[in-house]
Amino acid sequence: MRGIISKNTLYGLALLCALMPYTARAADPIGQVKTADGPVTVERGGASQPVAVGDHVFQSDVVVTAAGGSVGITFIDNSMMSLGPDSRLVLDNFKFDTTTHEGEFDSSLQKGTLAVKSGQIVKQTPEAMKIKTPAALLGVRGTEFVVRADEKK
Amino acid sequence: MSARALSRLAAAFGLLLLTGCNKNLVVVIPDTADGHVGAVVVESNGSKAVLDTAYAAATPGSGTLKPATSDAKEVKDIFGTALTAQPVAPSIYTLYFINDSEELTPESKPAFEKIFTDIQQRKAPEIVVTGHTDTVGDPAYNDRLSMDRAKAVSKLFIARGFPEASISVAGRGQRELLVQTAANKSEARNRRVEITVR
């Protein structure tokens, strides 16, 4: 073997890339803030920053509203989530293939109120969207519902 | 203790029994766009409930899940702010082109203009251009063809001044036929581009 990376590895990587041409990468935005009112912040990489309409959201973001705050997000599969005041939502895992519409959307409502309208991920694969709360696990078959989570369970 | 105070205490205790100290609540609501009622599966404490009727509800965290029903008023009282914060739902426009050219059919021209009116009414608008093909050719070829068409159409929006950063493209190939056909069937209604404004 001449190099550290063999020819076969390179072929394998090339094939892998060819097989998933349009799948969102971890650094790609997964949604965009469409409404924001009052105190709304996002926690990303250990820092907390205020949120405004037009901002993008990413996997692993934590969206937080304080008293009097609310925010609405449209995701790239057309699903929508909006938070009422005193709420905390973690966008744990988001995968979406725009060609096949296959994907996964896992989030956690740690406290507060959330309105959800599912999108193309659920249309393609019912229950591929899951929402955890301290007390329950929700599997979404579509399309619209509301959930309130008590921090204490 | 007066009878009135007693009745007040009883009412308060009744309310407490109903809700406990538990604020957890899940309610399926009719789709704000078309009234369609979907379903949510709730799992809690090893029990499972399928909510699939309008205002079907669950209060997880209080032992085994029991069927419950909410109503429009309760949903508005508790979730009013969250529901008001919902984004404007995405709109989808279908465009057709003359003989696979980049020229819109006469019927599609008003739809194309309507997209720009829609964009102006949204905050932070985005456009997704999605190409679709008929069943002529193999599926992998059609994936590429639909993507190429979507990219070509996205240029029409860039040319009209819509910011490129807010446009994305997708190719669905022959996965989402508007008119169901056999394989290798030429069908103009399936050769289309959908524009999602959101």
DSSP assignment of chain B, as one string? --HHHHHHHHHHHHHHHHHTT---EEEE---TTT----EEEEEETTEEEEE-STTEEE-TTSSS---EE--HHHHHHHHHHHHHTPPPPPEEEEE-BGGGSSSBPTTHHHHHHHHHHHHHTSSS--EEEEEE--SSS-HHHHHHHHHHHHHHHHHHHHHTT--GGGEEEEE-TTSS-SS---TT---GGGSEEEEEE-
Residue A33 and residue B39: Cβ atoms within 8 Å? no
Query: Looking at residue B21, what is its pLDDT?
Result: 65
Among B59-63, B100-104, B165-169, name the one with the lowest average pLDDT: B100-104
Q: Which residue has the higher pLDDT, A38 or B8?
A: A38
Mean pLDDT of B142-149: 94
pLDDT cut 70: percent of chain A above it: 82
**A118 contacts in chain B (CB < 8 Å):** 38
The span from the CA of B138 to the CA of B95, in Å, is 23
Amino acid (one-letter) located at A127: E
Query: Looking at residue B106, what is its pLDDT?
Result: 93
Q: Quick check: A93 pLDDT over 60?
A: yes
Query: Looking at residue B32, what is its pLDDT?
Result: 85
User: Sign of the C-alpha dihedral, residues A114, A116, A121, A124?
Assistant: positive
Mean pLDDT of A118-129: 97
Mean pLDDT of A124-136: 97
Q: Chain B, 153-192: which have a CB under 8 Å from a chain A CB?
A: 168, 170-173, 175
Mean pLDDT of B26-55: 95
Q: Quick check: B15 pLDDT over 50?
A: no
Query: Looking at residue A19, what is its pLDDT?
Result: 47
**A72 contacts in chain B (CB < 8 Å):** 85-87
Residue B24 and residue A35: Cβ atoms within 8 Å? no
**A137 contacts in chain B (CB < 8 Å):** 42-44
Mean pLDDT score of chain B:
90
Query: Looking at residue A63, what is its pLDDT?
Result: 98
Query: Looking at residue B102, what is its pLDDT?
Result: 73
Give the distance from residue B98's alpha carbon to the nearest chain A alpha carbon, in angstroms. 24
Mean pLDDT of A125-148: 97
pTM of the model: 0.86
**A99 contacts in chain B (CB < 8 Å):** 143, 147, 170-173, 175
Q: Quick check: A25 pLDDT over 80?
A: no
User: Which of B36, B42, B86 faces A80 most closely, judged by CB atoms?
Assistant: B86
Show the tokens assigned to A140.
């979404």
**B198 contacts in chain A (CB < 8 Å):** 34, 74, 78
Size of interface A-B (CB pairs under 8 A): 162
Residue A83 and residue B82: Cβ atoms within 8 Å? yes
* Position A29 confidence tier, pLDDT thresholds 50, 70, 90: very high
Residue A150 and residue B173: Cβ atoms within 8 Å? no
Q: Quick check: A4 pLDDT over 90?
A: no
Mean pLDDT score of chain A:
89
B131 touches chain A (CB under 8 A): no
Q: Quick check: B164 pLDDT over 80?
A: yes
Looking at residue A23, the DSSP 8-state letter turns out to be B
Query: Looking at residue A137, what is its pLDDT?
Result: 98
B14 to each of A127, B1, B5, B165, how far by Cα in Å? 36, 18, 14, 56
Mean pLDDT of A62-82: 98
Mean pLDDT of B137-152: 94
Give the distance from residue A133's alpha carbon to the nearest chain B alpha carbon, in angstroms. 9
Let me know: does A87 contact A40? Beta carbons within 8 Å. Answer: no
Mean pLDDT of B2-27: 63
Q: Chain B, 92-121: which have a CB under 8 Å from a chain A CB?
A: none
Give the distance from residue A144's alpha carbon to the nearest chain B alpha carbon, in angstroms. 5
Residue B89 and residue A84: Cβ atoms within 8 Å? no
* Position B98 confidence tier, pLDDT thresholds 50, 70, 90: confident
